[in-house]
Amino acid sequence: MAAEISAHARKWGPAVIALALGVAALAAATLSQAFAGEGDTLALEVKATYLIKLPPFITWPGDAFPSSVSPFTLCVVGQDPFGDLLDKALAGKRLIDRPVAVLRIDTAAQDSPCQVMYVAAGPQPAVKSLQAVAGRPVLTVTDSAVDGAKGIVNFILRDNHVRLEIDQAGAIRNRLEISSKLLSVAASVTPK
Amino acid sequence: MAAGLPSRSGFAQSLETLGQMSIEELGNVEITSVSKRPEALADAPAAVYVLDHDQIMRSGATSIPEMLRLVPNLQVAQISPSSYVVTARGFSGNYADQSFSNKILVLIDGRSVYTPLYSGVYWDAQDVLPDDIDRIEVISGPGATLWGANAVNGVINIITRNSSATEGGLLEIGGGNQEMSTALRYGGQLSDDASYRVYAKAFSMAPFDTPGSGNAHDGWSKPQGGFRVDWKPDSDLVTFQGDMYTGAEEEGQNPDQLISGGNLEARWNHPLDDGSNLQLLAYYDQTRRSSSEGGGSFVLRTYDLELEHSFTVADWNKIVWGVGERVNAYRIAGAYSPENSLVFEPAERTLNLANLFIEDAMTLASRLQLTAGLKLEDDPYSGVAPMPSLRVSWKPFDEMLLWAAASRAIRAPTPFDVDVVETFWGSPYILGKPNFHPEDLDAFELGYRQQIMSGLSLSLSGFENVYDDLRNIVGGPGGSPPYRWGNGMRGDVYGVEAWAAWQVTGWWQLNAGLTVQHEALGFKQGARTLAGIAQAGDDPHHQASLRSSMNLGQDLTVDADLRYVGVLPDPKVPDYAELNLRFGWKITDRIELAVSGLNLLHDKHLEYTDPPSDLVKRSFFIDTRWKF
């Protein structure tokens, strides 16, 4: 068998040589251009899109916005995993009929001016950020229970799809109303 | 999570595309893999190309083989409006020598649709509403360890969308010089955790011309209907689905061919508390084919049950194992003319195909993975065959993957190899070989994938396929009929498959594909043979494709597909280039209009050996879609 394989290997011919050369040339070219790729993954793109698609399914109380012209503010707390995805996806868009601002902050405070707060891992434990806005009209979002803590919406990976876990009790605590449509597409709903 | 999907799919599911999806559709975006265990596609150590929903819709293709023309690692040739040859890495067969393409596994939602009668695919019997398709994953090269029977040269895996992604109504009406079609679909919620859809579709296709420029009388029509129900109690996923079809095909001067069939399938996915996952699949499929004047018929019933369990051991071993049993019961009746007939003796058989497989994906270092697998398949004619595979992949950095694989697969004997009795002008022409050996493949592959920069990705795969015991036709005493099958051919096929996707700007994407392959086949020492090596296949040495997809504003899309297929050597078919164009216009959120032209460069052209191939005609099609 081994002899057979080596006999075949000799016959691999121009195709494989071309492939090897191609690999080598491309590897060299890439390594030399000081790679700085973001590595946009489809999963991140889907999550970023979710963040933008969620607001129309949520009703915020009247005091969620300082004024009728205040922008809709999407906050990312901690290390932003999205790179420029959110900015790209939001370019030129309005959310619930307001202009949109993306605010990246290290720590969340009770008075952070956020309507949606995506809590990523960061200097402050995620659970602290979530506690900081408990009772405030903020839709908290986490990914795969960051540091063991879950926001009102938590992304999970199920059967190769990014799905949502929704905490209805958390939503009520923060005085948010979640449409039944959104609840119906959730992978799981923690009841009131 | 890995970076940089290898196929165009990473880009097609770009933010822009995702942004147009509903919140249900977002939940249905597949973000992992080909392998039976969740894994980022970027990490799959195989030559995988994924055609996503968006690409399929924008191609304007109305049949599965036309969709497969978009896949760079497949070769597609049209023979008549209803008949195609689809292969990967060669072996398209040769009609004059009664050799038919037979080394590809095709699955629709896990249901195997290659026919166990001769291991080829009746493409006319396979159809899915294009809008229902989530994606088509194509693996060129053997996938025998995981996917099993007949995954020799490739696996085509057609996956439909969850019914929660197709709520509401859809009415589609299309017409053109070659095809008229209509489809109606409706879906909705059955309860908080269950959804459904039902559909009906029908089309009629006009005949092509024969090379002598007369009407080939090969038009056909086919209505089909079906349903899918998805239920997600707790964290389980349960799916029921089924289809029924019936079709009539003109067959030149011969009586019409009638086809009909149906299938029912159930899948249950159950995550266990320990983090492992259990999946159960069961289906029933029936397919019939007959001449409108009686005789020349067969009926095939398939019962299949598969269980699969995946789990992790000590963090670095991801193991998936499974068992499966398939029962094929068939009955074949002689042709409409006893003078010229193809029957099996015995005419009725029940074939049992059982398998057991295990695969372990071992993370040896953070960027180095070794996957070892073994499948044991017990086929009805040749007994137990082991099909091992070993794959190694290395990511020198996030955006690059290098992989290598060695694997074995077999094309198991079929009734066509063993039991066939073919009669021409009243005397026996070809007889089966009672002790036909499986056709054997040892495949060695090397691959490279990279996200070269934002918006540009490349995949290169090289392969060396070493075949043994390939079927050939052996002359009778004195070289005259009846001929018999033999296992007298062997040899190598080697080549390269390459494809790239480039997002030129936010609104313009280019895709390019190239395959080059060389067949070095021969006969074993002492083998008797009648026809030459051309009987294995009439395959192009190279083919190339270039596709441009443009979004002109919010509502207008323009897609162009240019393809080139090299000369088919023996019998010789000239090389050709062809172009498909499609303009899609979203008139309102609910109404869409598309105009497409297929095979625009020639009035008619030949794609495969003649006879019996007909000339593929230039065609136009206008499609209207109304969502309600």
Predicted pLDDT of residue A4: 38
What does the alpha-carbon distance between residue A104 and residue B67 come to, in Å, rounded to a whole number? 44
* DSSP secondary structure letter of residue A4: H
What digits encode the pLDDT tens for the residues A41-66?
678 888 999 999 999 999 999 888 88
What digits encode the pLDDT tens for the residues B332-356?
887 656 677 788 888 899 999 999 9
pLDDT at B3 over 80: no
Residue entry with tokens 């299949």: B304
Strand order of the β-sheet with A153-158 is A94-95, A98-105, A72-77, A116-119, A139-143, A153-158, A161-167, A188-190
SS3 B527: coil
The bridge status of strand A161-167 relative to strand A188-190 is parallel
- Three-state SS for A162-175 is EEEEEEHHHHHHCC
Cα B219 from chain centroid? 23
Q: Say yes or no: B110 contacts chain A, CB-CB below 8 A.
A: no
Predicted pLDDT of residue A37: 29
pLDDT at B4 over 50: no
SS3 B444: strand
Predicted pLDDT of residue A121: 78
Predicted pLDDT of residue B335: 64
Predicted pLDDT of residue A9: 40
Residue entry with tokens 């009987």: B535
Predicted pLDDT of residue B428: 83
Query: In this structure, what are the phi and psi dihedrals at residue B27, rounded to the nearest 5 degrees?
Result: -70, -15
What does the alpha-carbon distance between residue A23 and residue A39 come to, in Å, rounded to a whole number? 20
Predicted pLDDT of residue B567: 94
pLDDT at B29 over 60: yes
Predicted pLDDT of residue A32: 37
Q: Using CA of residue B191, residue B192, residue B193, residue B198, what is the dihedral sign?
A: positive
Residues of B in contact with A30 (CB under 8 A): 399-400, 450, 452
What does the alpha-carbon distance between residue B235 and residue A159 come to, in Å, rounded to a whole number? 10
* DSSP secondary structure letter of residue B482: S
More confident residue, B480 or B415: B415
CB-based contact A161 B27, cutoff 8 Å: yes
CB-based contact A26 B10, cutoff 8 Å: no
Q: Which two tokens stand for residue B76?
A: 């597609």
Strand partners, B473: B485
pLDDT exceeding 90 applies to what percent of chain B? 61
Please choose, from the candidates A128, A176, A132, the residue with its C-alpha nearest in 3D space to the C-alpha of residue A152.
A176
CA distance B250 to chain A (A): 43
What digits encode the pLDDT tens for the residues B462-473?
999 999 999 998
What does the alpha-carbon distance between residue B472 and residue B536 come to, in Å, rounded to a whole number? 8
The CA-atom distances, in angstroms, between A5 and each of B142, B145, B494 are 17, 20, 14
pLDDT at B2 over 60: no
The band of B534, judged by pLDDT with boundaries at 50, 70 and 90, is confident
What does the alpha-carbon distance between residue B116 and residue B150 come to, in Å, rounded to a whole number? 9
What digits encode the pLDDT tens for the residues A137-164?
999 999 876 777 889 999 987 766 788 9
User: What helix, strand, coil percent values describe chain A, rounded to 5?
Assistant: 40, 25, 40
Q: Which two tokens stand for residue B600?
A: 């625009």
Average pLDDT, chain B: 88
Task: Please give the average per-residue pLDDT across B156-171, as a whole number.
Answer: 91
CB-based contact A160 B448, cutoff 8 Å: no
Cα B33 from chain centroid? 17
CB-based contact A157 B31, cutoff 8 Å: yes
CA distance B56 to chain A (A): 19
More confident residue, B20 or B248: B248
Residues of B in contact with A87 (CB under 8 A): none
Select the residue from B234, B464, B499, B514 to test the A interface by mutation, using most A Cβ atoms within 10 A: B464
Per the CB < 8 A criterion, the answer to whether B511 and B546 are in contact is yes
Predicted pLDDT of residue B577: 97
What digits encode the pLDDT tens for the residues B115-145?
999 999 999 999 999 999 988 989 999 987 7
pLDDT at B362 over 50: yes
Task: Please give the average per-residue pLDDT across A20-46, as a whole number.
Answer: 51
Residues of A in contact with B492 (CB under 8 A): 8, 11
Select the residue from A49, A86, A158 to test the B interface by mutation, using most B Cβ atoms within 10 A: A49
Predicted pLDDT of residue B304: 97
Nearest CA in chain B to A34: B453
Residue ranges and CATH numbers for the domains of chain B are 11-627 (2.40.170.20)
CB-based contact A45 B14, cutoff 8 Å: yes
| Least confident interval from A6-10, B17-21, B538-542, B579-583 | A6-10
| Helix (H), strand (E) at residue A142 | strand A139-143
Gap between the terminal Cα atoms of chain B: 38
Per the CB < 8 A criterion, the answer to whether A90 and A82 are in contact is no
Per the CB < 8 A criterion, the answer to whether B166 and B103 are in contact is no
CB-based contact B237 A159, cutoff 8 Å: yes
What digits encode the pLDDT tens for the residues A73-114?
999 998 888 888 888 888 878 888 888 889 888 888 888 889
| Helix (H), strand (E) at residue A180 | helix A180-185
Predicted pLDDT of residue B601: 97
What does the alpha-carbon distance between residue A31 and residue B417 come to, in Å, rounded to a whole number? 52
Residue entry with tokens 């590897």: A27
What does the alpha-carbon distance between residue A36 and residue A86 come to, in Å, rounded to a whole number? 19
CB-based contact B520 A49, cutoff 8 Å: no
Contacts for B583 with CB less than 8 Å, ≥ 6 apart: B556, B557, B558, B594, B595, B596
What does the alpha-carbon distance between residue B280 and residue B7 come to, in Å, rounded to a whole number? 29
The bridge status of strand B542-552 relative to strand B237-251 is unpaired
pLDDT at A27 over 70: no
CB-based contact B192 A44, cutoff 8 Å: no
**Helix, strand counts (H, E) of chain B:** 7, 36
pLDDT at B559 over 60: yes
What does the alpha-carbon distance between residue B323 and residue B356 come to, in Å, rounded to a whole number? 4
| Domain ranges, ordered by start, for chain A | 2-190
What does the alpha-carbon distance between residue B605 and residue B617 come to, in Å, rounded to a whole number? 7
| Helix (H), strand (E) at residue B33 | none
- Which value does ipTM take for this structure? 0.74
Please choose, from the candidates B359, B451, B457, the residue with its C-alpha nearest in 3D space to the C-alpha of residue B407.
B359
Residues of B in contact with A39 (CB under 8 A): 2-4, 398-399, 451
- Which residue type occupies B216? A
Per the CB < 8 A criterion, the answer to whether B218 and B240 are in contact is no
Residue entry with tokens 């095979």: B599
Q: Using CA of residue B600, residue B602, residue B608, residue B611, what is the dihedral sign?
A: positive
